[in-house]
Amino acid sequence: MQIPIQYNVGTEIVKTKALIDSGAGGRFICEEEARKLKKPWTKLEKPIKVFNVDGTQNKIGWITHSITVDITIRDRSMKETLLISGLGPERIILGLPWLQDHNPDIDWVTGVVHFRPRQKIMIKRPMKPFIGIFDETKQLNTGILDKVEDDEVLIRSFIRGEEDSDEI
């Protein structure tokens, strides 16, 4: 499924399409699109040998560089490091790692991609919540709880969820 995305080149907004492909093992951009960005390429420490879906070697053969770009999909902006490779007719491919990182809701019938609000979970642990229960003076023969220290609370944590549209 292709989705509209955009990125900036200087003051110009460039609109293109990205293929969402759960079978792809990374985030990719074609060489032509990478050149349009006018950003520095980063040489990979170790080149990656590339094969096409049909098992043949990719025409470029090896991925040797990546590029980092700020892209926008609908109302969500994100910084992505894309591997530069031959992609045939595609400009950008967002594979399984991207899907796992962003976990969008996708309506495969209409082609609409929706991002959930980013959430932050804070775990607050009370100070010495069980004074007297796990004292060194009492000998409890309950296995793992014998070894519990004050700062290791194994029973109940207080969890508070907080929506935050800017940070995880």
**65, 43 contact by CB (below 8 A):** yes
pLDDT tens, position by position, 26-54: 999 999 999 999 899 999 999 998 877 78
Residues 6+ apart with CB under 8 A from 101: none
Other CB atoms within 10 A of residue 84 CB: 22
- Between CA 168 and CA 166 the distance in angstroms is 7
Question: Which tokens belong to 62?
Answer: 């090896």
Residue 28: predicted pLDDT: 95
- Between CA 97 and CA 66 the distance in angstroms is 15
Look at 54-63, 121-130, 150-159 and tell me which has the smallest mean pLDDT: 150-159
Residue 125: predicted pLDDT: 66
Residue 167 has pLDDT above 80, yes or no: no
Q: What is the CATH number assigned to the segment(s) 2-114? A: 2.40.70.10
Residue 164: predicted pLDDT: 42
Mean pLDDT over 126-138 rounds to 54
**39, 95 contact by CB (below 8 A):** no
- The domain ranges of the chain are 2-114, 119-163
Residue 74: predicted pLDDT: 86
Amino acid at 168: I
Residue 134 has pLDDT above 80, yes or no: no
Confidence of residue 129 (pLDDT cuts 50, 70, 90): low
Residue 69 has pLDDT above 90, yes or no: yes
Residue 80: predicted pLDDT: 95
Q: Is 144 helix (H, G, I), strand (E, B) or coil?
A: helix
